[in-house]
Amino acid sequence: MEKCSISLPKNADDGFAVAVGRKLEWPLTEKFSLYGSGYYSPDSLSGGVNDYREAEGGVRWRMTGSSQMVCIWELV
């Protein structure tokens, strides 16, 4: 899965990063699962952004049919 992110650096110039990564989900039981994602863009695929990195993980609890509660840990 590829991701294109637009970011505004501190010096107020527009910046961009073309990041590659993946989202994954691991079922633990019928109602609980772990999930995570990670994306990275080296300097050569970005402009005005140095070494773009993004990571997220959490636990998903499906309470009923379409209802769910999600706990998220994020590192950007």
Q: Quick one: average pLDDT of 41-59?
A: 83
The C-alpha atoms of residue 74 and residue 38 are separated, in whole angstroms, by 10
Residue 45 — φ and ψ, nearest 5°?
A: -110, 20
Q: Where are the domains of the chain?
A: 2-75
CA–CA separation, 31 vs 5, rounded Å? Answer: 32
CB 68, CB 32: distance < 8 Å = no
Average pLDDT of the residues in 65-73: 65
Highest mean pLDDT among 11-15, 17-21, 25-29, 41-45 belongs to 25-29
Q: Which residues lie below 8 Å from residue 55, measured CB to CB, with a gap of 6+? A: 36, 37, 38, 39, 74, 75, 76
State the Cα–Cα distance between residues 44 and 16, nearest whole angstrom: 11
pLDDT for 70 beyond 80:
no
Confidence at 47, pLDDT banded by 50, 70, 90: confident
